[in-house]
Structure 1
């Protein structure tokens, strides 16, 4: 399968981010804890040069805890402030506030020495589509400030959100990059829903997910859907269709519907805590 998705609004969004970066003290980059490297936009490093950096390993409740810890250590070793969260749990957001202050302590101290007191830290929140930026911001603010939705492309323009007297956030649209050098990156992004289902063959995508599950988490699908195991992923997809009563007229199996069901179950954590990639040193 070939994966590519870079619509015009992403070009505009990138330009907007470039124009606003001069106003920013801190870049907060949200990654999907299941695919921390694949969910990193390589353009962000160039955009965020000379800015304080913070990484949020989001949806950590959907990934294996031991690998969450390994990824946190990996990014800390590279000099980033790192926080693991499930953005739907507002109770864990207090640690994010304190890390924002820690990440910007040099800037705050510089301001103090220049007699600039009480100027809020300005942070830009960046990430790929559907990584959970708006939900993260709403949880951090304790109210619905940013539009949310479980599909890519919900946030279309920039939004400034004042968290408190100390912090202002700039929410930005999720953007990918023009070309995936490694198609496995595109595949992982499609798995988590960062590439629109409408532009990929979801049955083939589901088959690739089944291949991964058979390799890394053998038996999970069979137990979840109460089906017989199969080496052929399309045969297993038919088993899921049969088990979940996904049928067309004439009792023909609707494997297209079964594929979407499987992808949704994966994206929403109904298959358990799964990690799709591991730190390079491991």
Structure 2
């Protein structure tokens, strides 16, 4: 399966980010805690040269906590500020304001020496589609400022949001990059829902997830769906279809529907806390 999704609005969004970068003190980059490296757009490092950086491991409640901590250490080792958050339930949000001030301490100090006092920190919020940027902004602001949705591509244009006297945020659309050098990265992005499902083969994608679960989290699918240990990935989808009564034309198993159920359960955290990549790998 080949993964690629770079619609025209992403080219436009990247250009807009380039134009606005000079107004920015800090880049807040959201990554998905289940795939912290694969969910980082390599273009952001190029765009953000010379800017203070904060990486947020969002959806931290869906990934293994022990490995979340390993990733935080990994990013701090690379010189970034890094924090775990769960924007949907508000976990870690309270600490963000102070982390923003800390990340921009040098800039505030420079302003003070030049006699500029109380200028708000201007932060650009960036990340790939469906990583939860708008949910994060709304949680931080304590009100609905940004449109949210569980599909990629909800935010289409830029939007300035004033949090308080000391922080202003620029919300930006989620952008991928034009070419995935490594198709493994594309596969992981498809697992978490950052590539439009409409352009993917659901059964093939779910079969890949079954293989991953069998290797890294053995027994989880068997327990979740009350199925026997299957011989291969497609057999597993058939067993899930049987267990969940996914039928077409009376008695034929609907493995397409079973595949959609499996992907939905994974994305919603109903298979438990699953991490797809670790720092040492």
TM-score, L = length of structure 2: 0.99
Q: Corresponding residue for 2:12?
A: 12
Tell me the CA shift for residue 249 of structure 1: 1.5
Aligned-partner Cα distance in 2 for 1:49–1:231 = 49
Aligned-residue RMSD, C-alpha: 0.8
Residues 30 and 133 in structure 2, CA contact (< 8 A), matched pair in contact too: yes
- Is 1:233 matched with 2:233? yes
The Cα of 1:93 is off from its aligned counterpart by 1.2
- Contact 2:138 2:144 (8 Å CA) reproduced: yes
Q: CA-to-partner distance for each residue in 1:78-120, whole Å, 9 max, x for gaps?
A: 1110110111122531211110000001111111111111110
Partner of 2:36: 36
The answer for unaligned runs of 5 or more in structure 2 is: none
Map 1:188-227 onto structure 2 (within 5 A): 188-227=188-227
* Deviating more after overlay: 13-22 vs 108-117: 108-117
Aligned equivalents of 2:188, 2:92: Cα separation in 1: 27
Aligned 8 A contact 2:60 2:85 in 1? yes
Cα deviation, residue 164, structure 1: 0.5
Say whether residues 1:157 and 2:138 are aligned partners.
Answer: no
After superposition, give the CA deviation of every residue in 1:199-224 in whole Å (9 maximum; x if it has no partner): 01010000000000000000000000
Give the Å deviation of 1:63: 0.4
* 1:252 is the counterpart of 2:252: yes
Say if 1:246 and 1:254, in contact at 8 Å, map to a contact too. yes
Provide the rounded CA distance (Å) in 1 between the counterparts of 2:44 and 2:97.
22
Distance of 2:192 and 2:90 partners within structure 1: 22
**Count of matched residue positions in the alignment of Structure 1 and Structure 2:** 281
Deviating 4+ runs (over 6 angstroms): none
Distance 2:198 2:54 in 1: 32
Partner of 1:53: 53
Structure 1: gaps spanning 5 or more residues: none
SS of structure 2 residue aligned to 1:90: coil
- Answer yes or no: is the 8 Å Cα contact 2:13–2:157 preserved in 1: yes
Aligned partner of 1:126 in structure 2 is 126
Query: Relative to 1, partners in 2 of residues 1:194 and 1:91: Cα closer, same or farther, differing over 3 Å?
Result: closer
TM-score by length of 1: 0.98
Partner residue in 1 for 2:137: 137
Structure 1 residue 103 corresponds to structure 2 residue 108: no
Whether the aligned pair in 2 keeps the contact of 1:90 and 1:142 (CA below 8 Å) is no
Q: Report the Cα distance in structure 2 between the residues aligned to 1:277 and 1:90, rounded to whole angstroms.
A: 24
**2:71 maps to which residue?**
71
